[in-house]
Amino acid sequence: MVDMKVNLCGITMENPVMAASGTFGYGYEFAELYDINILGSFSFKGTTLEPRFGNPTPRIAECEAGLINSIGLQNPGVDAVINKELPTLGKVFNKPVMANVGGSSVEDYGKVAGMMDGCENIGWIEVNVSCPNVHDGGMAFGTDPAVVQEVTETVKASTGKPVIIKLSPNVTDITAIARACERGGADGVSLVNTMLGMRIDLKTGKPIIANKMGGFSGSAIFPVALRMVYQVYEAVDMPIVGIGGISTAEQVIEMMMAGATAVQIGAANLVNPYVCRDIINDLPDVMAKYGISSLSEITGGAH
Ligand code: SIN
């Protein structure tokens, strides 16, 4: 018998596998395909104070080993999430869920986190300071250590739930940003969000994405994400959620050895909606193959 349990910021998860924000809706859509209670948890679509229509289309460009998205944080706003999406999710998911929070100002982040503080089924607040697709907020907040610290402090003051800051890979030194989160009182960090990229349509000679650029994710970014998790593990003393190009149980273990306590699966959900379930089913055999009896013991083992 192998033990897949991990503890993320004081909350025990049956396994470390979560679906990443923006690739799993509000969860109940996937519950039509399989019992999502098999998941460690998932992070729901980035939620802002007001509803957002999102960016003009086309918003997606396919690539050889991933895709570029420029959704623009489309979401129904925090009121609708609290009053409609979360109760619907509660009918099919009986574990704490991670709430991904976006904002156009530092105050917005605090307000949304504060409104979610009373939601029983929310376990963690994941603060998105890394969306590359919005002009006001998003990645602009996540590339300046002083601003990251201010957002972290504001959210921490607004909620008693564990606060996890989601970091952008589009920085020179991700460890400087992670240290700013730690100074601000973060309980953990999740990394990485998407890498800024673009494609050009040869027929039109113009960028495929209406917004010209977008966030690149998928299997191609796995080694970059792994490297950043490895670096951040050495820089700070708080749990890390490893994200970026994961699609197999072997990669979950690799990411944990680099320093992750838990992982999120993103773009792979868009290729195979059953991928999280498949990874969780595969994990015991892969653990046995590599002589791992307890997943919680391998975090940071590569250091
Ligand atoms: C988006 O909605 O544009 C993607 C979210 C993100 O990259 O954080």
CA angle 228, 218, 242 (to 5 degrees): 35
Contact between 9 and 162 (Cβ < 8 Å): yes
- Residue 66, pLDDT > 80, answer yes
In this prediction, residue 298 carries a pLDDT of 98
Ligand 1 centroid–CA 130 distance in Å is 8
Q: Which atom of ligand 1 is nearest to the CA of 102?
A: 8
Q: What is the pLDDT of residues 232-267, one digit of tens each?
A: 999 999 999 999 999 999 999 999 999 999 999 999
Q: Is 221's C-beta closer than 6 angstroms to any atom of ligand 1?
A: no
In this prediction, residue 1 carries a pLDDT of 85
Q: What is the mean pLDDT of the chain?
A: 97
- Residue with the nearest Cα to atom 7 of ligand 1? 131
Q: Which of 241, 197, 199, 231 has its CA nearest to residue 217? A: 197
- Cα 132 to Cα 31, 50, 197, 200, 257, distances in angstroms: 29, 19, 10, 18, 28
Q: Which atom of ligand 1 is nearest to the CA of 128?
A: 8
Least confident of 133-137, 243-247, 271-275: 133-137
Give kind and range of the element (H or E) at residue 106. helix 106-116
Q: Is 193's C-beta closer than 6 angstroms to any atom of ligand 1?
A: yes
In this prediction, residue 135 carries a pLDDT of 80
138 pLDDT band (50/70/90 cuts)? confident
Q: What is the pLDDT of residues 78-129, one digit of tens each?
A: 999 999 999 999 999 999 999 999 999 999 999 999 999 999 999 999 999 9
In this prediction, residue 133 carries a pLDDT of 86
Ligand 1 binding pocket mutation candidate from 60, 129, 133 (most atoms within 8 A of CB): 133
276 is annotated as an active-site residue: no
Q: What is the pLDDT of residues 192-201, one digit of tens each?
A: 999 999 999 9
Neighbours of 93 (CB within 10 A): 22
Residues 6+ apart with CB under 8 A from 172: none
Q: Which atom of ligand 1 is nearest to the CA of 73?
A: 2
275 pLDDT band (50/70/90 cuts)? very high
Ligand 1 centroid–CA 127 distance in Å is 12
In this prediction, residue 139 carries a pLDDT of 83
Ligand 1 centroid–CA 92 distance in Å is 25
Q: What is the pLDDT of residues 68-91, one digit of tens each?
A: 999 999 999 999 999 999 999 999
In this prediction, residue 140 carries a pLDDT of 82
- Residue 11, pLDDT > 90, answer yes
Q: Which of 263, 266, 271 has its CA nearest to residue 4? A: 263
